Amino acid sequence: MKIGPFDFRFVEIFHELYAIEDYINSIEAQLPCLIERGKERSQNDRPQNDPFEWQQKEQELYELIEEVIPRYFRNPIVVTLWAVFESAIIEISKEIKDQKELSITLDDIRDDFLDRTKLYYNQILKFPLDVRGASWQHFRKFYRIRNAIAHGNGRLDNIKEPKNRKKIYKYEEESIGIFVLGGNIVCSPIFIRNTHSFVLKYLEEVTERVRKECPQPNNW
């Protein structure tokens, strides 16, 4: 029985996505322990005879549990996941470009990443992407959140465009797992897991199409 040939294109993309999934699970498993340690430290430092000082300590503990620890452990995952998504889109576009022997690259298009990706795939590569579905709409939110974290440490005061700040407040109202606490963006595990699922499913569909419509040459 003949087996193969196998198409190993894009396998590294999914190795990275599976690794991120493992990392997400690891972080979420550790967070309760980190929070408990924070509580223990706060209890050990509890003022004995000053209720006002203890009230302040309680507020600090609340911020640690609800904002600081989740923000510093979860928000970097958003940046890493976006990096994998963006590099995957670029890698896939290069494969199609080479197969079709085109000279224009994705980097030749000037716009934000999602808009130039849409233009490049749909108009240059003639490999239409679904940009009206739920995944692409989620990617818009994902991209804005990622930029706020990567360029401004997730602090809303660091976002230059007022419309982008308003958008993030709107995301909080949409109950997608984005919160603004103390002027900082905090991503919930729901948002991170949903975003990972959207990225994984979208890239699975796109790479499968590439394998069918642009099969690897026989001399590979």
CA distances from 216 to 10, 96, 112 (A): 12, 10, 30
Q: Which residue has the higher pLDDT, 116 or 41?
A: 116
DSSP 49: S
DSSP state letter for 179: E
Tell the residue number behind the tokens 């995952």, with chain if given.
Answer: 77
pLDDT for the residue numbered 46: 62
Q: Residue 1 has what pLDDT?
A: 39
- What is the percent of the chain with per-residue pLDDT over 90, rounded to a whole number? 70
Which is it for the CA torsion 115, 116, 117, 120, positive or negative? positive
Amino acid 88: pLDDT: 98
DSSP per residue over 10-40, as a string? THHHHHHHHHHHHHHHHHHHHHHHHHHHHHH
Mean pLDDT calculated for residue range 25-45: 80
Average pLDDT value for residue range 136-162: 95
- Give Dmax over CA atoms of the chain in angstroms: 82
Mean pLDDT of the chain: 88
Q: What value, to the nearest 5°, has the Cα angle with vertex 58 and ends 56 and 64?
A: 105
pLDDT in tens, 97-131: 999 999 999 999 999 999 999 999 999 999 999 99
Neighbour count for residue 158 (Cβ, 10 Å):
14
Residues 3-8: what's their mean pLDDT? 70
Give the tens place of pLDDT for each residue, 153-196. Answer: 999 999 989 999 999 999 999 999 999 988 999 999 999 999 99
The pLDDT of residue 2: 44
Comparing CA positions, the residue from 151, 112, 115 lying closest to residue 136 is 115
* Whether 185 contacts 145, CB under 8 Å: yes
User: Token digits for 40?
Assistant: 């223990």
Q: How far apart are CA 54 and CA 28, in angstroms?
A: 29
Domain boundaries, the chain: 11-93+126-213
With cut-offs at 50, 70 and 90, classify the pLDDT of residue 70.
Answer: confident
Report pTM.
0.87
